[in-house]
Every structure is written in structure tokens, then in C-alpha cells.
């Protein structure tokens, strides 16, 4: 009787491990390249996964001010970040090597969001992604992948 109970318990644990749904991750790095070719890594850079509706909010706040003077862009940035919480699904920061990883992201459509303000310019990344069941996503936040640089 003990052997049967042990066998049932063993089979249940093996099946649970095999049947457990694998939820993909999103990972990458964050670095910028200057005009002279020098690169610098972005440590402690915020990486967010947001609901797709964040794109309309970004267009209404940031993108609408993209060709305006810097002060208006800063005001738009403040408005954007004040309202961003309602769209955030998950977030993290890059480590000392400028690498990030978001684990256990449920399959769905999202916007991968990042921003940087250097004091003289701003950069935004608003990257549509589709997370599927069995495929991890690699994305690097770079100068060339930015949605907007001003």
C-alpha cells in the first residue's frame, strides 16, 4: 500500500513539473551610442511593461509636444509620468552591467517602455511587443531603437 501511495505521489509530482505552463521572459540591455561612436551603458534604467493603451496616452502627452520647445516637453513628461501608473503591468531596472530581465510575463500584447532625460535631451522607447507562450523576448534599449529622441 505504501508503494502504491509513493508511486502515485511520484507520478503526480513528475506530471506537475511537465504540465506546468512555462511563462516567457523579456530581457536585454540598455546602452546609448554618441555621435562620435562612444557608447555608455544605462545602469539603473527603468524598464516597464505596460498595457497597449499607454500608447494613446503617450501620443496625447509626449508625442504631441515633440516639436515644441524643451520646457513644453518637460511639462508633457511630468504629465505622462504622473498618469503612467494606471498602465504598468510590471517593471524592473537594469543592473550594474545595464542588463534587465522581466520573468513570468503572461502571454499578451504589451508596450515595452523606457525613458531617459540627460538634461540636454530626452529619449523615449515605446516598443509594441507580443509575448507568446513559449518564446522569450530579447530587446535592447539603444539609440537606434528609440521611438523619440529630442
pLDDT, tens only, 31-60? 998 888 888 899 999 999 999 999 999 999
pTM of the model: 0.81
Please give the CATH architecture assigned to the domain spanning 23-149. Answer: Sandwich (2.60)
The answer to whether 145 and 139 are in contact (CB under 8 A) is: yes
The arithmetic mean of pLDDT across residues 70-75, rounded, is 85
Q: What is the CA radius of gyration of the chain?
A: 21
| Helices and strands in the chain, H and E counts | 3, 10
User: What are 122-143's pLDDT values in tens digits?
Assistant: 899 999 999 998 889 999 999 9
Identify the residue whose cell numbers are 555621435.
35
Spatial contact of 49 and 135, defined as CB atoms under 8 Å apart: no
| Burial of 9 per CB tally in 10 Å (0-12, 13-18, 19+) | exposed
Edge-first strand listing for the sheet containing 99-102: 99-102, 26-29, 137-138
- The full set of domain ranges for the chain reads 23-149
What's phi and psi for 70, nearest 5 deg?
A: -55, -40
Amino acid at each position: 500500500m505504501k508503494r502504491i501511495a509513493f508511486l502515485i505521489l511520484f507520478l503526480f509530482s513528475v506530471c506537475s513539473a511537465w504540465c506546468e505552463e512555462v511563462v516567457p521572459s523579456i530581457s536585454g540591455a540598455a546602452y546609448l551610442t554618441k555621435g562620435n561612436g562612444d557608447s555608455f551603458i544605462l545602469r539603473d534604467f527603468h524598464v516597464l511593461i505596460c498595457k497597449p493603451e499607454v500608447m494613446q496616452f503617450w501620443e496625447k502627452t509626449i508625442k504631441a509636444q515633440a516639436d515644441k520647445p524643451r520646457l513644453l516637453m518637460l511639462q508633457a513628461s511630468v504629465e505622462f509620468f504622473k498618469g503612467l501608473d494606471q498602465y504598468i503591468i510590471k517593471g524592473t531596472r537594469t543592473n550594474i552591467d545595464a542588463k534587465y530581465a522581466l520573468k513570468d510575463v503572461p502571454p499578451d500584447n504589451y508596450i515595452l517602455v523606457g525613458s531617459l532625460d540627460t538634461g540636454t535631451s530626452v529619449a523615449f522607447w515605446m516598443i509594441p511587443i507580443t509575448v507568446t507562450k513559449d518564446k522569450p523576448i530579447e530587446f535592447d534599449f539603444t539609440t537606434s531603437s528609440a521611438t523619440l529622441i529630442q
